[in-house]
Structure 1
């Protein structure tokens, strides 16, 4: 092979004209084959001669370069450096040219940087520069570096490179600046290239515009946010910091009376706010306060009941008005402060509520993190420990449905399973109430009232009963030990088992509470009842309206905010839903909302994963963008359970969007319609569950309530054949 290469044969010529022979593990080529190939291929002999001459010249140059390497590199680099310093360029051109000049010089000064000419017909650097074509920036940068490896050639041949080098730098810079401007880069290149992160990546890894988007914009946003947002989250609430506040921390498990004691103090206050984790709890507390003669309004993301002359308000924790002052505030279920999606609302309330006396109700695993937070605030606090007044016992024997007793609550973790269990109990002659997540709150309240009044003797529910709902439950029976948490099906956690089971044994009604498992549900849940959950060790941190003050697209600002470091125990909230909603409005709908409106829209409570709800949300956004004074109310479709539930969600969305964007809506009609739908759903659950309870996911037609499938036979076959 060496002999062939010396005679001008390249690897491609060898593979195209010669056949390798093998002998004793080696490869050789017959001289006769070489002669025949030259004889039968016109021009091949000339090509071989030129190749051989070039190889000899390169070998000569290599020898000369290696002998004078340091001198040639030093002289070439010095000449090009001087030419660059003396070249007349404006500030922006010089900034871009400087990056390419540094790349060229760095490559040139690299030891062993000799590169033989391969892609250009002449070993002439000037001609190589003249042949550069502008494709991808990175491709160009690699060509540019290859040219630098050959930059000794002109000097070795007595030629001047500087004029064409400066010309090339000027042309490259002009093209890069034009690309930046045409794609929306608003800042000067000199400012973009002032960042170390940009200089480290440009031009070998990213183009100028890509560096602008990937490095400069986030750095600029981070800088602006750092100026606006306090280093310590507590300092984002100056009004609360100027008050004299004190905390009463009520710690205890489920059914220990911590919320009850807090509410007693709330009733005595001249003004107050109760902050709930669930809308149903907000409604329940409003009713309790009204019954005790306290004028109390109610506010959640889906509805409002604003009473004239109200001194108190009961709301979900997200709806806290930080501008209003209260004598007493009660914040319930504070262990949720670490929740990635909603925990920020508890953090915001604890740090920012303007109340003289703040009662925090928390499970034992949340006490440590609350104490840490309050100590950092430097505000006084008292811990009040609450113990169960009614003992809770685990029944070792499984409890079949046929052995249901008065006061039993059977727990499942899906609507379908809840409905199936309820129908089974009713077949056994057990009047049963039903509570699950998709159920309208007014219907839940009716079902709860039936259980409270003794019209039903058993209850089938999801884990919604675990959070504060006061029901006369004697025994909690787990029918499943796994639940879907929004991303996967997983085993129940100790804290969940303790919270749900803790609902058994209502003080003043029963002397003991019981928990058990149904047949087929592993009895290991009993051990979880005695297992202390791990302490909550993080605090979810949300963003404030200050993000609107950064002069960048809101999505970019939120993404940068989410990546900014924050000191322990804080952890930034999950902003995925906000990004989805904003992108939907801007990209899918193509609407030009202000940043303020985008932020408001991203906080509207609805399930964006439900295609029909998302489509209705989009319809309402378009109507608002078009300047409509009000939104078209939703219309009923169907009379089955899923139809009525969906219609109720549309009514919630109609209110939420109208209220968020301050549009007019028929309050009286909406209240009556929601009450009517809730009543119809309640009637269906009580009297027509078997007939109208389950529907095909595709066509909406009835399917058996105990069917293990979500599709009717016709839709299943259609999908299978398709």
Structure 2
């Protein structure tokens, strides 16, 4: 307990010191000396409290924890496993009454029998108190004088700021003249690399800069510390900020000193016992001068550079410079007004241009002599089947599909049933002799073609930001006696609004097969015949299929980048019972009618291109609706791996109505635009500025703009008509594949140079190679059909069919299910292997590198 004893002794010393300070304060504030007895009476409780506070604080802070616990244990208090905070509280409570220091006794011993000492303490304390009060009074007077000076300075700035600006303006003009005449202009090669030297770029030409601010962006050639304490090239703006501060602090302090009333200067000298100087003023008015510096500097930046340079040679005479400044100010205001007026005229012209080009392009036709039939309802309720039955009965018909696979499916079905039908998608055209029916992707819709019946499938896609306008065009522009529109329940208000006063029949569908959510989480070993397992990436499809194959399941696969022919083969195997389970992405949710017993969501979220998010209610319904098949499975089961209650709520949630649809440029829009310009850069800019009508949203045109920026200013743009160029920009392929983008560019150059189109690169090694080769041929076919070369397309269509068959075989093989092979030796890699080459290939590559380095 050595520390405890030491702290106790220090607490007594500290208490005595504090009481001596209290005596001085008590005595000094009184005009006559109070007696010692009076002090003890007045301060009895306070002096005892001083001891208690000092003792408790010192002991709590300075006695170690182990001594505190020892002290408490000696008093029978348990401290094992007691928190530190509680130990401290218990310790403070116990030591409150520990040998309290008798303050009054100590005071009496010191002063009660020595009245002469008490009197001396009073006289010393009183003298110190009076001296302190006198100093405080002087400080108050000094503060009053400083405040008065500050007020005078504020008044001077308020009344004469314009005149005070004149000498500053003249000084800066002289600096500018010197810099422009004598300094070298510098250019920075790489703005991100400070270590690279600047390059000299000749002399300054004053006429190159309209305003002083424009010149301030030039580099001086020096290096300075930036705001973040990193080094940067110095600009003239930074240099002149320092010049402005030096000038304002110097000459403004002199101006204030000259304008201050004499009595203020005299008061300052009397209180401070020294003469008021410029340095004093700079210290007192630092904030005021800093603010004034910024106001002057901002005014300087707006000045016309030529006006200032004309001012530089003149001597400073206030009346002359005031007259010139007012003239320059009026001229500047006129220039600004003219610039604002010109900008306003530009905006008005632009608004008129936008209205003329886009104005009425997205209003439904006023009169349509068409009968509409709306097939509205849930997934897998027979909507499409009923509409197609009506189309087959008609003398001519058109089916518009959201996917190439669905268009192909209807094309094959009609021809098998003896109804000649042609196929038209972006990548293929199949003619059938005598065909008066057609099956197309919705983008292939042509407003001039006439049919007895048109069927538009999956019309809820009208809300898609990139493809939605194709559905809008088909719905509002179809030339037919009957137009059948197939859509989800949440599309009904939007469709009714679009049809306006047109005649329509509404047929609503309900599921005959109910959906039932399983109450327990799904695990992969629970997979059974008739299951469709849904995930949201190609990689997850392949990995899941590989796991199932290892457990002796026969598996079909479906994912977005899979060729339609391969997808069809995979579906057929499932329908025919050759496979028992299907693993798919959400592509399964659109138009694919399969005998599915149970839909299993392996994930509850998906990456939508920008972020990972939860599935929406409509997405869950669209996918889950594929479960159950009338006559096969009387109940459609739905399972989730987690968050069952939340996902079940999304499945049961009432659909929010679709309230907007997408719009995109039309041929009529391009025709009107070409009256003004033939540059697509301007078109994209106007499209960005165009505010689409209420209830619509513009297509992003991200791909078109991206491709255009790659060839802007090239011979491709120069040689092609604008509408033709836009058609090529609009070709449906993925620019996320660098190889496809390069193929597009090289093909475009071949077109404008009238040379043979480059053949697509075809590789047949891995599944990835086959799928990419399929896409390259698809892009090649897009060009061939757009250029009117169907004969050449025949060979590539056959080759693509061969690739599709190879892809199907790879998917059927056990190895393909892993989804990952070594890119050098093609050896199968574990599904969780994070590298692109196997360990042996990596080791051999390192060995070769080492040998080459040595020899």
TM score, norm. by length of structure 1: 0.71
Hey, what's the Cα distance between the residues in 2 that align with 1:364 and 1:512? 21
Say yes or no: does 1:304 pair with 2:440: no
Cα–Cα, structure 1 residues 669 and 530, in superposed 2: closer, same or farther, change >3 Å? same
Distance between the aligned counterparts of 1:158 and 1:636, measured in 2? 78
Q: Quick one: distance in 1 between partners of 2:560 and 2:830? A: 18
Q: 1:338 to 1:161 in 2, by over 3 A?
A: same
Residues of 1 paired with 2:321 and 2:507: CA distance? 91
Q: CA deviation at 1:362?
A: 1.0
2:207 counterpart (134, 156, 171): 134
Alignment of 1:407-486 (within 5 A): 407-486=530-609
Task: Give SS of 2:482's match.
Answer: strand
Secondary structure of residue in 2 paired with 1:679: helix
1:341, 1:574 within 8 Å by CA — same for their partners in 2? yes
C-alpha distance in 2, partners of 1:430/1:123?
A: 86
CA distance in 1 between counterparts of 2:387 and 2:360 reads 33
Partner-residue secondary structure (3-state), 2:639: strand
Is 1:509 equivalent to 2:632 in the alignment?
yes
Q: Secondary structure at the match of 1:137?
A: coil
1:120 pairs, out of 160, 170, 176, with 170
Secondary structure at the aligned position of 1:116 is classed as helix
* Structure 1 contact 282–315 (Cα < 8 Å) conserved: yes
Task: Report the secondary structure of 2:166's partner residue.
Answer: coil
Match of 1:363 among 477, 488, 507: 488
1:581 corresponds to which residue? 707
Measure, in 1, the Cα distance between the counterparts of 2:322 and 2:620. 84
Q: Equivalent of 1:652, from 769, 775, 778?
A: 778
Equivalent pairs, count: 572
Unaligned runs of 5+ in 2: 1-137, 143-152, 182-204, 215-300, 850-855
Query: 1: CA distance between counterparts of 2:566 and 2:379?
Result: 24
Match of 1:685 among 791, 803, 811: 811
Instruction: Give how far 1:614 is off.
Output: 0.6
Matches of 1:562 and 1:370 in 2, distance apart? 27
What corresponds to 2:758 in structure 1?
Answer: 632
The 1-side partners of 2:765 and 2:818 are apart by: 8
Change (3 A) 1:155 1:113: closer
Residue in structure 2 matching 1:398, options 510, 521, 526: 521
In structure 2, the CA distance between the partners of 1:600 and 1:590, relative to structure 1 (3 Å rule), is closer
Spell out, residue by residue over 1:608-632, the C-alpha distance to the aligned partner (whole angstroms, 9 max, x if none).
111111111111111111112x423
* Alpha-carbon shift at residue 549 of structure 1 (Å): 3.7
SS at match of 2:545: helix
Structure with the larger helix share = 2
3-state DSSP of counterpart to 1:666: helix
Q: Secondary structure at the match of 1:298?
A: strand
- Deviation (angstroms), 1:121: 5.7
Note the 1:200-599 alignment, pairs <5 A.
Answer: 216=346, 220=349, 222-231=351-360, 233-234=362-363, 243-375=368-500, 378-518=501-641, 524-545=646-667, 546-550=669-673, 551-552=676-677, 553-586=679-712, 591-592=717-718, 593-599=720-726
Aligned pair 1:156/2:319, yes or no? yes
**Whole-Å Cα distance in 2 between the matches of residues 282 and 158 of structure 1?**
81
Equivalent pair of 2:543/2:818 in contact (CA under 8 Å): no
1:143 match: 303
1:521 Cα deviation from its structure 2 partner: 6.9
Shift of 1:112: 4.9
**Counterparts in 2 of 1:508 and 1:594: CA distance versus 1, 3 Å:** same
Q: Aligned with 1:293: secondary structure?
A: coil
- Please give the alpha-carbon distance, in whole angstroms, between the structure 1 residues aligned to 2:473 and 2:509: 25
Secondary structure class of the residue paired with 2:207: coil
- SS in structure 1 of the partner of residue 683 of structure 2: helix
Could you say what secondary structure the match of 1:234 adopts? coil
Answering whether residue 796 of structure 2 is matched by residue 674 of structure 1, we say: no
The separation in 2 between residues aligned to 1:158 and 1:504, in whole angstroms, is 88
Alignment of 1:67-86 (within 5 A): none
Q: Is 335-344 or 297-306 further displaced after alignment?
A: 297-306
Aligned to 1:16: none
Aligned to 1:615: 742
Q: Distance in 1 between matches of 2:818 and 2:753?
A: 39
Measure how far apart 1:195 and its partner are.
8.3
CA distance in 1 between counterparts of 2:352 and 2:825 reads: 53
* Counterpart mapping for 1:156-175 below 5 A: 156-157=319-320
Preserved contact between residue 695 and residue 710 of structure 1 (Cα < 8 Å): no
Contact 2:707–2:729 under 8 Å retained in 1: yes
Distance 2:321 2:758 in 1: 82
Secondary structure of the equivalent of 1:256? coil
Aligned-partner Cα distance in 2 for 1:280–1:433: 16
Q: What's the secondary structure of 1:369's corresponding residue?
A: helix
Distance 1:297 1:119 in 2: 80
Q: Supply the RMSD in Å over aligned alpha carbons.
A: 4.0
Q: Which residue of 2 aligns with 1:176?
A: none
Is the contact made by 1:249 and 1:384 (CA closer than 8 Å) also made in structure 2?
yes
CA distance in 2, matches of 1:611, 1:538: 33
Conserved in 1, the CA contact under 8 Å of 2:542 and 2:818?
no
Over 3 Å counting, the alpha-carbon distance change for 1:567 and 1:591 in structure 2 is closer
Distance 2:534 2:540 in 1: 9
- Which of structures 1 and 2 has the larger relative contact order (alpha carbons within 8 angstroms, sep 6+)? 1
Q: CA deviation at 1:373?
A: 1.6
- 1:459 is paired with a residue whose SS is strand
Tell whether the 8 Å contact from 2:827 to 2:838 is kept in structure 1 after alignment. Answer: no
The 1:342/1:117 distance shift into structure 2, 3 A limit, reads same
Report Cα offsets for 1:50-105 as digits up to 9, x if no partner. Answer: xxxxxxxxx9xx99x97xx9xxxxxxxxxxxxxxxxxxxxxxxxxxxxxxxxxxxx
Contact preservation (8 Å) 1:333, 1:362: yes
> Residues of 2 paired with 1:396 and 1:158: CA distance?
88
- Contact 1:591 1:625 survives alignment (8 Å): no
Contact kept? 1:274, 1:313, Cα under 8 Å:
yes
In 1: Cα distance, 2:403 partner to 2:568 partner = 13
Given that 2:396 and 2:451 are in contact with CA atoms closer than 8 Å, whether structure 1 keeps it comes out as: yes
Shift of 1:702: 4.4
Greater Cα offset, 247-256 or 304-313: 304-313
Corresponding residue for residue 82 of structure 1 = none
Distance 1:194 1:702 in 2: 73
How far has the Cα of 1:672 moved from its partner?
A: 1.4
Mark the CA change 1:523 to 1:412 in structure 2 (over 3 Å): closer, same or farther. Answer: farther
Could you tell me whether the CA contact under 8 Å between 2:206 and 2:305 is conserved in 1? no
Which deviations, in whole Å up to 9, do the C-alpha atoms of 1:284-322 show, x marking residues without a partner? 111222222221111112222122322111111111011
Once residues 422 and 163 of structure 2 are traced to their aligned partners in structure 1, the CA distance between those partners, rounded to angstroms, is 78
